[in-house]
Structure 1
Amino acid sequence: MHGIANTAQAQAWNGHEGSHWAAHQDRWDAVNAGFNQPLLDAAAIGSGERVLDIGCGAGTTTQLAARAAAPGHALGLDLSAPMLERARTRAARDGIPNISFEHGDAQVHPLTPGAFDVAISRFGIMFFDDPVAAFANIATALRPGGRIAFLSAAEPEGNQWLQSLTSLDDILPMRGFGAPGAPGMFSLADAGTATAALTEAGFQDVRAEHVQAYGTWGRDAREAAHFLLDSGPGRHLLEQVGPDDRERARSRLVEWLRPYRTDGALRLRSTAWLLTATRTD
């Protein structure tokens, strides 16, 4: 892999976080699948186009892009070696020939200038140390007039999975967790911050549309609670308290989640900004 600017993220996504997402790719897809169609509709990928998928993870959105672009091509770029291994295995299994993956940090990765018609991302753009630099690097990879469709997490209070963890704030050290603008998944939760960064990076016609979707977190409250607390944020919080508090947190989370089980699945609402723009000619 070429140089890395986001070293903390590289460590996380090549450690437990990346391994967890790779091992539970089907589960994470169930959480985020409701955002796929809005993303694809906004990207409007045409036959024969070249697509760059930023923070592609285990490759689900890259596969969707490759199918839409055929006989064009989709390239997935991600920091996480475990997730890319999963992505390559799945693409080979599913027989998708017009797809490839690269291991790299989109903020500094050497992308071929003008090589792509469109760039997409499903929640892969919130973790840059320098978003403007990252978006500018992505812009150079687009042809003049090329377009983007990116999803970033919106207001924390609109995400029920985060509300469920916040209900544990007298047990777990929640202070600052999920704060808008702070490094991490809510760094672009303010639409103005996100659109300003894209404009400064050389994009025009920048728009932010508020979207929401319900994701499946498990079959029932107990399964969903285990999944939430074994993910990166949940694991980080549990590691800071003792065994008794961990058990208290798990029990309370199960009770908080119970009302959200319907028709054999536990579903929670998430909110996002769907960011669209075109590269300046």
Structure 2
Amino acid sequence: MKQGVTTLGAVFRPQAPPERLRGVVRAAEESGLDQLWVWEDCFFESGIATAAAALAWTERLKVGVGLLPVPLRNVALTTMEAATLYRLFPDRALLALGHGVQDWMGQVGARVDSPVTLLREYVTAMRALLAGKRVTTDGRYVKLRDVALDWPPATVPPLIAGATGPRSLKLCGEVADGTLLTAATTVDMLRQARQLIDQGRAAAGRTDDHQVIVYLAAATGEGAAERVAADNEGVAGTAEDIAAAVRQLAEAGADTVVLQPTSDEPDPEGFVRFVGQEVRPLI
């Protein structure tokens, strides 16, 4: 059983306008926070654009995109963008791939019949391209002909996949290097997810490290309990209350816990400082 979590992060939610990003990024860097995650939710903000800006404004902070909806993005384009970030900001960019919200994918004409098949083909092709290989593949969804990156990263970074369903969680263990879980994940659900991920890893004969990253909705200060209740999930209270919830997830198998503010968080900068300066020392 895990005795603690090694990494603590926070989310910049795209419900805040893009011009708020810089202040939140600076607060994360200055407060000692390990990671800041941004989202590519339709139809708010670009995950790659916000991540690039956040990385450029900081020196040590790791910035994750959780997650990039693969039906929306051609794998060659995503890999080009990823490789650029990995080379510009070595060891600081984290990218998670996932199915995307199916209703949103339908709105833009990108919904597929088999999201699991698409994610398998996508992660496999992206890993090969990042490794500097020349790729030709004719899958159900991913089709590449003699494609290779001119500027692949010096080392292939871990590829993270996001999932909720059993088939997708097993696939994460099989083809990805880490799994991102939503804030709806309870302690029991996390334990079950780790079992499914491990089944996928065993089926693929994988013995390498596999990081599990879990979002945890959180709020503090005046009205915190009401805001969390409106989101139907999460923990509200003091730094000690939130740290206790983080430790529970760590003991259940989380390697990283990313605190997710409510959609109506009144002070995104203050939330990030709270996580870095008050919660992090208690983990």
Q: TM-score range, shorter-chain basis? A: 0.3 to 0.5
Normalised by the length of structure 2, the TM-score is 0.36
TM-score by length of 1: 0.36
